[in-house]
Amino acid sequence: MSERKYIDFPKYKTLSGNQMDLKISYKSFGCPMGTAPVVLVNHSLTGNADVTGEEGWWPQIIGPDKLIDTHTYTVLAFNFPGNGDDNYLIEDYEHLILRDIAFLVKAALDKLKIDKLYAAIGGSIGGALAWELAASYPDLIENLVPIACDWKTSDWVLAHTLLQDQILKNSSQPLYDARIHAMLCYRTPESFKFRFNRTINPEKDIFNIDSWLFYHGEKLEKRFHLQAYKLMNHLLRTIDITQDRGSFEQIVEQISANIYLVSIDSDLFFTDEENRETYKSLMSYKHNLHYKTIKSIHGHDAFLIEFDQLNELLQPVFANPKT
């Protein structure tokens, strides 16, 4: 397993004007730094920097002879500061927005002497972070791959994160209850029917869907921190690469990266329709733009399920890197 390393940022001044002592942890996999193209992988809301290996959440596409081949690339993954994976929590998380996280990641890359990323890829809020990095540093990334995400927080996501915030602040078992609600955002009615179809768990004498939701609530309660969940939910509300910058089209026109938008046709959280609107608004003048769709009944979580499709859709990005 890759060793976790830390970079400190004492007296970081947030975009809101507050000074904070922050740190960011990271892991690297594959080729040693400085010897191969670098792929930055950003985790989702309750994920972490363990992107491959026995404890990894994406080993089906990252690893030896996988889509993102660790024989070919240096794979770099940062923990969102305060996500608790490294037992580091941020009390005054409201002072931060997602762009602050992008600034910290770029500062960390500078300290690691990495001035170019072959690719930046991530799902959900991790993809949104990749968007923010590209908008903030237009020449940093060669291939931008935001999956199941958006460059902004839609009204729909704002509504769900507001409800999550209310649960996290007011429930007697906040992580447990928030996770049960979140699973309804991450999957679809068709996915539940396909898997459970109103069947009964004979040991518990309850519906299997109930048992499954209770299981996910219990699992997150055991491994995650309430403060970390509050932070990540807050950051979800702050996605907007246009804030204080101008129009979306003006910003993306400056991004030199090849952009591979990857949506999920059944996503109920960051919807396919929102992604298609993004693609349509850019296709007339952004020529190195590509639109890929994962077809699945499983909704938002399909980027953690449909590995064969991901491998096929993203093969053109990672098959022949420049060295």
Measure the N-to-C terminal CA separation of the chain; round to a whole number of Å.
26
Position 12: which residue type? Y
pLDDT per residue rounded down to tens, the chain (323 residues):
689 999 999 999 999 999 999 999 999 999 999 999 999 999 999 999 999 999 999 999 999 999 999 999 999 999 999 999 989 999 999 999 999 999 999 999 999 999 999 999 999 999 999 999 999 999 999 999 999 999 999 999 999 999 999 999 999 999 999 999 999 999 999 999 999 999 999 999 999 999 999 999 999 999 999 999 999 999 999 999 999 999 999 999 999 999 999 999 999 999 999 999 999 999 988 999 999 999 999 999 999 999 999 999 999 999 977 64
Write down the architecture of domain 156-235 according to CATH: Orthogonal Bundle (1.10)
* In the block, residue with structure tokens 């600034």: 103
Residue 311 buriedness (CB in 10 A; 0-12 / 13-18 / 19+) = middle
Query: Hey, where are the domains in the chain?
Result: 5-153+239-318, 156-235
Q: Can you state the angle between helices 226-236 and 174-186, rounded to 10 degrees?
A: 40
Nearest to 283 by CA among 253, 313, 243: 253
What pLDDT sits at residue 321? Answer: 78
* pTM of the model as a whole: 0.97
Instruction: Dump pLDDT digits (tens) for 273-320.
Output: 999 999 999 998 899 999 999 999 999 999 999 999 999 999 999 997
In terms of Cα–Cα distance, which of 162, 153, 111, 112 is closest to 132?
153
- For domain 5-153+239-318, the CATH architecture is 3-Layer(aba) Sandwich (3.40)
